[in-house]
Structure 1
Amino acid sequence: MLLLVTLAAAFAAASAQIDLRPYNLTASIMFVTNDLNNDNQLTQTEFDHVFEIYDFNKDKIIERHEYVCYITKSNSFMGNLAQSLYDEYDMDHDHRLERHDFDNFFNRMDEDNDDVVSALEFVRFWEVLFASKENFSMHGQKHPQHNDKYCLSHGHAHG
């Protein structure tokens, strides 16, 4: 989630390809970054914070370009993965992310339905998801390619 940008920058320094392995470590770092109160649980409120960050124009809808611009701001090699992850968040497949999509995504991670996502639940979920995205480089062909000019013209400069 938020940490994908930070991890992408680190991985980019080592190679031109993105490799999020070992997935459990990547997911653990993501969890720690998003567990804002450090209680070893991710609440809906903490997950809503992620939604607010991705929603650049604060219209309560995360368009594909907003999400891709955010994820790729530190590493343009993340474009195809960002496209694919956007589709994972888009639970109703309407090509826009709204609060209910994030609520449903949160519920997918909450294995025991106790309204919090433990570190273990989070890591297990993202390990499976990352493993399913190992061939994400082909995904970008289904959608318009990420456009750096768009990001720049809308104030989302890459770092």
Structure 2
Amino acid sequence: MDCRVVVEAAVPVYDVATSDEAVRIAISKTGEMLNPDLNYVEINMGERQCPHCGETIEPAFIAADESLVALELEMTVFNVERDEHAARIARKEIGQRLENIPLEVLDITEIEPDDDESSEDDASDDEASEDDASDDEASEDDASDDEDVLPEFEELIDE
């Protein structure tokens, strides 16, 4: 089974004045750490809620020109046995590149295989086999053309 895993990361950012600036720097910093190895990981602003009133608050907490930004990192994990297996793979892959940044798995969603995609794959396989057959015929024609061209070339060399 394939799963879509969402991991929350707490990214520290220094020398910032606003939460917008902190979020932009955190996304850039995280992107640099993940790329080029994990360029398929999507980076989004995290959503935080006030623990007392449940109201949505900004993803960056700023104190003394330093910020802690909540980011959500999404990746697809293929061929896993269980949700826990997908979570461990995602945390390991992302955690290896984001040193000293705490991670927490927020959501694991199983991706259902589409029947349309499998029928499209079968159709593309049929087209590919037809293309291979026409390529074989074309290479036989090219071989006979080569025989005609080569003697002329050899005659030019002899002169």
Interval of TM-score (by shorter of Structure 1 and Structure 2): under 0.3
The two structures have a TM-score, normalised by structure 1, of 0.25
Higher helix proportion, which one?
1
Larger RCO (CA under 8 A, 6+ residues apart): 2
The two structures have a TM-score, normalised by structure 2, of 0.25
Higher strand proportion, which one?
2
